[in-house]
A and B are shown apart, each in its own frame.
Chain A
């Protein structure tokens, strides 16, 4: 392989992050935001989203693609938060309790999701995606009709005026930013949510450690070649289910961390957005459907949210209409996922062809 080929390969492999880098480099000056504002915003968004995005890593390792089913975990987290709000437990204790309540729920969801995905091998992504929609219906059924009628909810503030069903917006004032402000730190007017970053740091270490375990090794083997892994005696189906369970549980904690920062919960929407934005951010960071690293997570969040923050203002100054910037944000979230999926599928086909062509080249020499 010659040098220019190597460079073009680098550009092809990193096309997505590079495009985002260019877009933000152009848009930042136009948006006229001050650097300190941007840094503050980015820190907030990093602390909010890192956990959710990190939860996607393990299923990718196990070869199951982007886990669109992570919204199931987010739902579990939200259910935990509703209970904690109802019992009026505030602060970090509230978050902890919410996490404890929602863990078994997330494990159950993850387990179900794993079983369904094992039945849909080769089309995990679209299945997990539809499963997210389906469970969204079930979630609505339970939260909108079951809570307050079958499941006891004490606080009238949470309930709709009709006496059952949780309101569209749940206020998390008691827990708002309780984790972020647990260890306060302020540098040059920029607030840094130390405790949240500590948690994220611990979690990154967990992912790194996990890769070194036997289970992690089994997952990588399963992800690369299920048939070989099975013939070596690895319990493939079980390994796949475990990877989804871990992802779901982590997404559940991620959603709790996310919502404590935001402070309010859109009972029926928050989880849906969690999925799209987390996946888009990861892909912007240069991850693919089959390969993702912690570095991808952080570059992804920074680049994605940078464009996200500046695009409405940039749109306003450039085209005189903030609305266009808003829609541009929507477009990039979905467009980036589409682009990444297309690039991945296309590259896979190309690699296959190139491998054959190389083989043929060697053969032609022999003939």
Chain B
């Protein structure tokens, strides 16, 4: 008989209302071992971690099914504090550090060593003073465990990114009760040498008896460091194996899988004419926070549907936002042979390029205005549509009748479910909001349309309408479409060619008919690394 595992997850499932995101997840983790959890964006990793860490979003949306055991005892965390008390420490992707505090202060944030003062007799323990020497000692011992070169007195704001990551980890280690450490993509922000140091530290921690859950997209790292590997796809465990029994290719295949067999490309009825190069991108860099583009070269042809895929944070969204002038960018972009001014949102619009933003509620819509206004605004501003002269052409004002007529046309055409065209967009469902975004872009009659994450957060029915509509506009009006999406199968279902981004560059461009495994390898950055070592 084996010993009781430190953590055991048994049959855990989670649904956000009718949307099932996790099904029957089972795995276990033993003391001193490192478990790698891999999966595409949206495979259910973050939901699983939210459950493990007792985030309030889980309770608020009806809890989860199945059971979790720590040290053989069943636990049910309702608050992060419960998880902390049970010995689970988590390092999130976003830094949770106070910039003006020193490393020591951050490591011991809200767990400071305190001295007795007289004042606390009256006002309570909050008036104890900080015991700096004791804090320094505690912080140093935590840093020592990691075996990194980190000065406790430096301000966080002055640290390089990698050291911030170490500070976060040190904070969890400093909590002596931490038995299980969850690291959510800790190497994503690190340079190669820093990542090596981190991996070495992880090994040390594991040798000291701490169990680690390591989430990463870098399959090579997972292979190097982990003892066991769990691969998630569509909320299910598709692979649970000791590291020795798998390979990069095996993991990639498991991750990407083949989700929807039925919507394989149906190019049989394709009678389109794919023309000359319409958009030429040369050495493009874009400074979009979290989606940095470093050096992208692309040529998109007239009349095709071009897909851009890749994992989150690898720059696929930055390409569209950079060309549209919404994020600081550099390099050369030529549209229809003419150079396109960057950093100037009106330039691409004037040239006949429109975009549907991935940030629907932040950029794509005027939530507090009507459907009609949302649809026509861009066309009105850039093309002077929907204006009628008044007082003998002295001024031109909104032509409300034409606006309503236009909105009604799109409502019927795209099956937007609403009361009427004057309804406030905020009240619509995500799918219908997305259709409004599409209508806005279509109304400008673009020659080239960027569509970013068009199906994110919308239901299946709307998804189909959106994809069908894109295809229809491409077929009927010859509109060139560049679709950016995290969902590879969705890209494969309507695109002609697909580019995969990795670390702000194009890792490769393949025809959509290639097997998904090949895309998976491009995404995982293994091809890139291979190229580098070669």
Contacts and interface: CB of A to CB of B under 8 A. Distances in A.
Interface string A193-227: 00000000000000001001111011011001101
A228 interface: yes
B302 interface: no
B20 interface: no
Given A220-B101, A229-B98, A233-B110, A367 B285 contact: yes
Contact of B128 (A213, A234, A366): A213
B219 interface: no
Contact of B294 (A220, A224, A363): A363
B418 interface: no
A22 interface: no
Contacts of A7: none
Contacts of A221: 98, 101, 109-110
Interface string A229-257: 10111100000000000000000000000
A356 interface: yes
B81 interface: yes
Interface of B: 80-81, 96-101, 105, 109-110, 112, 114, 117, 119, 125-130, 285, 287, 289, 292, 294-295, 328, 504
A287 B486 CA distance: 47
19 contacts: A212-B129, A213-B117, A213-B119, A214-B130, A215-B127, A217-B130, A218-B110, A220-B100, A221-B101, A224-B101, A232-B96, A232-B109, A356-B287, A360-B285, A363-B292, A363-B294, A366-B294, A367-B294, A367-B504
B285 A364 contact: yes
A307 B415 CA distance: 70
A364 to B, nearest CB: 7
A84 B419 CA distance: 67
A217 B294 contact: no
B99 A224 contact: yes
Contacts of A227: 96
Given A225-B99, A228-B96, A360-B328, A209 B129 contact: yes
Given A221-B98, A229-B98, A233-B81, A214 B114 contact: yes
Given A213-B117, A214-B114, A228-B98, 5 more contacts: A220-B100, A221-B98, A221-B109, A234-B109, A363-B285
A351 to B, nearest CB: 11
B110 A232 contact: yes
A227 to B, nearest CB: 8
Nearest to B114: A214
Contacts of A359: 287
B348 to A, nearest CB: 21
Nearest to B80: A231
A151 B161 CA distance: 62
Nearest first, the 4 closest Cβ-Cβ pairs linking A and B are A215-B126, A232-B110, A232-B109, A367-B294
A229 B112 CA distance: 13
Nearest to A356: B287
Contacts of B289: 356
A214 B97 contact: no
Nearest to A221: B98
Nearest to B105: A217
Nearest to B171: A232
Contacts of B285: 360, 363-364, 367
A366 B80 CA distance: 39
Given A224-B99, A363-B294, A212 B130 contact: yes
Given A234-B110, A367-B294, A224 B127 contact: no
Contact of A213 (B98, B101, B110, B126): B126
Contacts of B96: 227-228, 231-232
B490 to A, nearest CB: 30
B57 to A, nearest CB: 13
Nearest to B191: A366
Nearest to B127: A213
B126 A218 contact: yes
A69 B119 CA distance: 27
Contacts of A228: 96-98, 109
Contacts of A218: 110, 126
A343 B112 CA distance: 35
Contacts of B110: 218, 221, 229, 232-234
Contacts of A215: 126-127
Given A214-B128, A215-B127, A221-B101, A356 B81 contact: no
B132 to A, nearest CB: 8
A366 B295 CA distance: 10
Contacts of B504: 367
B476 to A, nearest CB: 40
B100 A224 contact: yes
A212 B292 CA distance: 41
Contact of A214 (B80, B100, B112, B328): B112
A217 B112 contact: yes
A325 B436 CA distance: 61
Contacts of A229: 98, 109-110
Nearest to A291: B100
A161 to B, nearest CB: 46
Interface in A343-367: 356, 359-360, 363-364, 366-367
A315 to B, nearest CB: 42
Contacts of A360: 285, 287, 328
Contacts of B287: 356, 359-360, 363
B100 to A, nearest CB: 5
A262 to B, nearest CB: 32
A14 to B, nearest CB: 19
Contact of B130 (A213, A232, A363): A213
Nearest to A212: B129
